[in-house]
Structure 1
Amino acid sequence: MTIGTVLLAPIWALQLLTSAKSFLDNPLIGSRRLNARGLHLARVRLAAGLCTWRRRRLARKVRPDWREAFDRDGFVAIPDVVPIAEFPALREAILSYRGPAREMRQGDAITRRMAIDPAMLSAIPAVRMLLEREDIVALFHYVASFRTTPLHYIQTIVSHDGSNEADPQEALHADSFHSSLKAWLFLNPVAEDEGPFTYVRGSHRFTPERLAWEHRRSLADPRMIDRLDARGSPRIPAQEIAAMKLPAPEGLAVPGNTLVVADTVGFHARGTSARPGERVEIWSYARRNPFLPWLGGDLLSLPGIAERRVNWLWRLRDRLEQRIGQPWRPVGTRTPMDHDA
């Protein structure tokens, strides 16, 4: 045993009570011996139980039809979430907004993000009004299982940019071993063959079949499987979906002005796109430590702080790039659909 192992062992142990999920980076999380004795399964069960308990306390503020759809399917799709008369102006304001942008390439797709920060909220007050709507906030809290403010972005997905590599987001996967929130408000229609959000209905529930699958996958050698899988975002083939008695994945073809809010512990993917194209959306994300028993207490969600977090996170990763990596490269001032610097 090396000195480094001795020094890091307490940190690895503490990470067991956090959202840490990498089987490669934490030898306790990735230990086949410990997982054979139920370590991974215990973390999954505890996180799921606490999530259910928190959601029960948050449920009364959520519209019943939204809550019922989410509880059944693992996501809810809300058409015309912005009043029809107001949506064209909001869409135009977002698509014409110019601000600092960052991009990341995965396979043959490019993801561009612009932070919904104080500058954007000041320039487009309708965005702030939308994101602070009580019914939407209550739904976000319920799906995230915490009273937390998500990180918000304007996101553009450019598909088939000319690379021959596969887009890893097109493989069915879960984001982690515990629940988290992702949401998309699509500004343009998304057809079935244009990379739609794809989800396996009901796969957010930890049924006996899902728990057995979690246990089996925890016994794999993390050095011998897909890199993203080994880092805690498991990929799953279609035959294993069927073995869990789950339906086939479903691509959501939706009109513009549709909000989709999902628990990404369920199996999901970006559907394949038949042609080069792009889609633009308001994209939101929230993931907290799943083992916290309380609902709030997130200081980073306070007004004045919440809307600045994205830029702070980007700058922090810039400083720590050599140590932790920084896939999000600055590409200058852009509009969401501006391809040239």
Structure 2
Amino acid sequence: MKVLESAKTIVLAPIHVLQLATSAKSFLDHPLIGSERLNRMGLHKARVRIADALCRSRRRRLARHVPAEWKEAFDRDGFVVVENVVPEEDFAALRSAILETEWPAREMRQGDAITRRIAIDPDMLAQVPALKRLLHRKDINALFHYVASFRTTPLHYVQTIVSKNGHEGPDPQQEIHADSFHSSMKAWLFLNPVTEEDGPFTYVPGSHRFTPERIAWEHNRSLRDPHAIDRLSARGSPRADDEELAEMNLGKATPLPLPANTLVVADTGGFHARGPSQHAGSRVEIWSYARRNPFQPWVGGDVLSLRGIAERRIGWLWAFRDRFKDQIGQPWQPVGKRRPAED
């Protein structure tokens, strides 16, 4: 068995080396990324620094397209809040069309929360023209691009978070965490008001900046035994408590209870969480996500962002994972047609 493992390591070594120049992040599953020896020599620290430098370079080239008020808010806080982002008459039509229609849905369970996602695909865009107008707005896409640091079209979903569904276990999304060692973009357009009791999006202001203190924390974290820490941190989505945030000269997480028709766009390389819900219920939002290889110096060149392709990617991705679920896993299970607000 040891001979086979050694042979496998040798055969895969070139691939593992190449993966260092990608978004690969798991200390648990990757022999180089998780190597204490290499990380003591500065491997993880170097990846963080290079990815951050390239991100800042790409953002400088994208900045002129972003409204100044939004850019200032993002540069300061790591997120942007845009209230009444959709004209009132359009929002009423958009909200009604989405919430009152049954759509093909998939779900994933984490602890006592269920996440339901419905792909925003060509069929939905044809049925909800107000949504199509929003997602094609130049200012909104300029903001998406700036936060993502790439001129790329996000994946767009209708997402429902069903809290306290009766199952035991904590929701891991309620722990303060960063998605990775580099920047990425997520956005939420809330279709209903979200109060502090509903479990709002929560963010540590300024934590999107990879300061010397953040980089030192990343380095120290890379030296820990990945088998001795929580699995999500070991797989590259690090958790941080208040003491660690203070070590990085950061404050505590700020919850963002917000009215309906509010868009939040955030860099989830910063520390964030889903706030704890105080009661059973659901939260419905338009949820968008963009992450590319952080070591690419160019801002464009994403063929999958072309119209006619971008709107179909989610269906292709789900079909691919269904086909190869035994090899790569498929946490998103089809649940038939559902209305987004169904518990």
Unaligned runs of 5+ in 2: none
The aligned counterpart of 2:180 is 176
The C-alpha deviation readout for 1:141-188, integer Å capped at 9, x for no partner, is: 000000000000000000000012000000000000000000000000
Return the match for 2:243 from 232, 239, 242: 239
Distance in 1 (CA, whole Å) between partners of 2:240 and 2:342 is 35
3-state SS of paired residue (1:5): helix
How big is the shift at 1:123? 0.8
Return the match for 1:265 from 257, 269, 272: 269
1:184-263 aligned at under 5 Å gives the runs 184-263=188-267
Paired positions, count? 339
How big is the shift at 1:120? 0.5
Distance in 2 (CA, whole Å) between partners of 1:179 and 1:97 is 35
3-state SS of paired residue (2:198): coil
Give the alignment's TM-score, normalised by structure 1: 0.98
Q: What residue identity is the alignment partner of 1:62?
A: V
The aligned counterpart of 2:312 is 308
RMSD over aligned CA atoms reads 0.8
Unaligned runs of 5+ in 1: none
The aligned counterpart of 1:20 is 24
Distance in 2 (CA, whole Å) between partners of 1:64 and 1:254 is 22
Give the alignment's TM-score, normalised by structure 2: 0.98
The C-alpha deviation readout for 1:110-152, integer Å capped at 9, x for no partner, is: 0000000011111111111100100000000000000000000
Return the match for 1:147 from 142, 145, 151: 151
3-state SS of paired residue (1:85): helix
Question: Which runs of 4 or more aligned residues in structure 1 lie more than 4 Å from their structure 2 counterparts after TM superposition?
Answer: none
Distance in 2 (CA, whole Å) between partners of 1:124 and 1:97 is 10
The C-alpha deviation readout for 1:66-118, integer Å capped at 9, x for no partner, is: 00000000000100000123211111111012221000000000000000001
Distance in 1 (CA, whole Å) between partners of 2:66 and 2:55 is 16
Q: What residue identity is the alignment partner of 2:227?
A: R
The C-alpha deviation readout for 1:246-265, integer Å capped at 9, x for no partner, is: 11110001000000000000
Q: What residue identity is the alignment partner of 1:16?
A: L
How big is the shift at 1:223? 1.2
The aligned counterpart of 2:48 is 44
Distance in 2 (CA, whole Å) between partners of 1:338 and 1:196 is 19
3-state SS of paired residue (1:17): coil
